[in-house]
Structure 1
Amino acid sequence: MELGDNYGRVATDLRVSLTDRCNLRCSYCMPEEGLDWLEKQTLLTDDEIVRLIRVGVEQLGIREVRFTGGEPLLRRGLVDIVSRTTALVPRPEVSLTTNALGLSKLARPLAEAGLDRVNVSLDTVRPESFEEITRRDRFHDVVEGLAAAKAAGLGPVKVNAVLLRGLNDDQAPELLTWCLEHGYDLRFIEQMPLDAQHGWDRAAMVTAEEILASLQTRFDLSPAVEPRGSAPAELFLVDGGPATVGVIASVTRPFCGDCDRVRLTADGQVRNCLFAREESDLRTALRAGADDQELAQRWVLAMRGKLPGHGIDDPTFLQPDRPMSAIGG
């Protein structure tokens, strides 16, 4: 079996949210006071998470697993979950998307557990801007986490940045300069309508064209020669290479036609699209005693309903009820 949809796409990349909790309060993600977190009994246990990943890998052709949150480093069983995932046969590529708070202590244990690489969210290299965006004074902790990841061999270490109008939209060149100096791969991501406050405004979004124009005031950019395929980032050589910078233009240059991703939420729901408004429940069947074959079949069925695109440009587009913190990137 495979996780195919009705438009010829096959999901091989699984994003697993380990928690909806986060220790930052980024203005484009959640309100300062936080959110009502998922109740503990609704969350998948470590064993349940690993079992569903195993079903995906052994029966459904999943080749890549990325752990997300909220903030996945807050999951106490993270290192063991990673270790058990990398022990699966065939072994999937295993990565982690994190804000890097606490990564300075966990980078080495995660590398020893088999983690292949990390993506770190960092929108600015100015401490004062970091505090304004995240509402936390933790910039130096992120810097230490990034350095620890690089030292532990979790590379290439990628940095994901979102530019926000009036906050850091003038900082693209210095972000790239800093990442080049430290040996990190930078990817800019257009702000998407996944904030808990439902305050996203396309007119206020910093677009890919604006990001590239800003970068070109200091750097010479040329398209990378290799085809992007299902990778979300459009890559550009910086000053002739070999360094690159990426732009993930989910809104203005959607890549839905090549999407190979499927998502599993921390409470056991399959989401066949980041912007899906419907989910398919695996947790109930899992806890009711379903065998691996039944779980796989339910998962296959969940993918059949995947729409051809996310529809952000459609006037009837409705933002998902769940915010990004409860979906996982």
Structure 2
Amino acid sequence: MASRRRVSIGGATPTLDTLDRPLRDLRLSVIDQCNFRCTYCMPRDSFGADYPFLASSERLSFEQILKLARAFALLGVEKIRITGGEPLLRRGLESLIEQLAKLTTTSGKPMALALTTNGSLLAAKARSLRDAGLGRVTVSLDAVDDAVFRRMSDVDMPVSRILDGIETARAVGLEPVKVNAVIERGANDSQILPLVRLFKGTGVAVRFIEYMDVGGAGGWSNTKVITARETRDIVESVFPLIPIVVREQTGTAVNYRHADGAGEVGFIASVSQPFCGTCSRARVSADGQLYSCLFATHGTDLRPWLTDTASVEQLAMAVRSRWIRRDDRYSELRSTQHRLESGKVYPTVRMSLVGG
């Protein structure tokens, strides 16, 4: 088994964990702050004006982030996603993206580079992000009704600002644009059909995510979860869908095509049908902690290898050492528990720090 997990720095041998899951995707959080206070992620009663977010001096520098990206590329990572918090709050982000866009994978292909954002600053930054080399963008949008949107995000901002950002991203060529919507029963389940209706035929793919017990979701309960199957039934009651057949399921979403060919809709069943068995994602927080699961309780500090005295290869070996011992499968274990009605099984890392 150990021989299967060896890594040749700069080679093509996959880096496998204890469950034979390869390291393919890296999510880099560049900031833990956000200008939204979404009720399931950063509720205002927990993340108030006096919340001790990381100081700029505590966040990884762009040079350190680039070193991380190079190390993960050596280990077989094929896609890097920039996250937060709200990543567009990080000053000068375009300069980081410009450097990341120059990376290649172990197979010699350009590194796939994506970004997840709440969209509030996207209209102003979409062109500069595209020019810097960003490939794709995913916008978190839980409602198209203005009142529901304001209630979910808990900010005094019209939903039209987010929609303008999405349209601008499409116009400048940041495609495909995807919209992710977390659906919570009794909060925004009324928005399922309006979201599909709005983006049908536009080239924007809508993906519905089951309400998860992450980050600030301290009041999470299984009773608030609308399963992906329920959501799909709601969509198909109006819009017939055809499943998209794939050779290998590597992403988190199960995707469908509108029967009339006017776009795609995806469903992410992270609670009802966990996909831990194919998870290939590593996450590095804005302060340099490596997390091997979104539901982790603690990380591995990579900052000792982010100094000038450590090489990229030494950093890669430190990451490899942690990954080959990875056995995380929180969602699968949670689904076997009988405590779901009472809330989260255990406290998890702050989502705004590690990224979604």
TM-score (norm 1): 0.94
C-alpha distance in 1 between matches for 2:218 and 2:86: 20
Change (3 A) 1:6 1:265: same
3-state DSSP of counterpart to 1:186: strand
Alignment-derived partner of residue 111 in structure 1: 130
3-state DSSP of counterpart to 2:71: helix
C-alpha distance in 1 between matches for 2:198 and 2:238: 13
Deviation, 1:241, is 2.9
Alignment-derived partner of residue 296 in structure 1: 316
Point out where structure 1 has 5 or more consecutive residues left out of the alignment.
none
Task: Describe the superposition over 1:296-324 as per-residue Cα deviations: whole angstroms up to 9, x where unpaired.
Answer: 11100111232252222243874443221
Alignment length (residue pairs):
328
Task: Describe the superposition over 1:127-173 as per-residue Cα deviations: whole angstroms up to 9, x where unpaired.
Answer: 11110111113212111111110011000100000112212112211
C-alpha distance in 1 between matches for 2:111 and 2:97: 11
RMSD over aligned Cα, in angstroms? 1.7
Alignment-derived partner of residue 44 in structure 2: 32
C-alpha distance in 1 between matches for 2:354 and 2:147: 29
C-alpha distance in 1 between matches for 2:336 and 2:285: 26
Which of 61, 68, 71 is equivalent to 1:45?
Answer: 61
Alignment-derived partner of residue 324 in structure 1: 351
Q: Percent identity?
A: 38
Which of 215, 221, 236 is equivalent to 1:201?
Answer: 221
C-alpha distance in 1 between matches for 2:197 and 2:218: 33
Residue 149 in 1 paired to residue 164 in 2?
no
Q: Pick which of 193-202 and 151-160 moved more.
A: 193-202
Alignment-derived partner of residue 232 in structure 1: 252
3-state DSSP of counterpart to 1:3: coil
Deviation, 1:102, is 1.0
Alignment-derived partner of residue 56 in structure 1: 72
Change (3 A) 1:168 1:104: same
Alignment-derived partner of residue 73 in structure 1: 88
Q: Pick which of 274-283 and 294-303 moved more.
A: 274-283
Alignment-derived partner of residue 19 in structure 2: 7
Q: Which amino acid aligns with 2:123?
A: S
Alignment of 1:13-28 (within 5 A): 13-28=25-40
Alignment-derived partner of residue 10 in structure 2: none
Tell whether the 8 Å contact from 1:122 to 1:159 is kept in structure 2 after alignment. yes
Tell whether the 8 Å contact from 2:202 to 2:263 is kept in structure 1 after alignment. no
Alignment-derived partner of residue 130 in structure 1: 149
Deviation, 1:206, is 1.5
3-state DSSP of counterpart to 2:70: helix
3-state DSSP of counterpart to 2:189: coil
Change (3 A) 1:144 1:293: same
Q: Which amino acid aligns with 2:80?
A: V
Residue 86 in 1 paired to residue 86 in 2?
no
Point out where structure 2 has 5 or more consecutive residues left out of the alignment.
1-6, 8-13
C-alpha distance in 1 between matches for 2:315 and 2:28: 16
Q: Which amino acid aligns with 2:94?
A: V
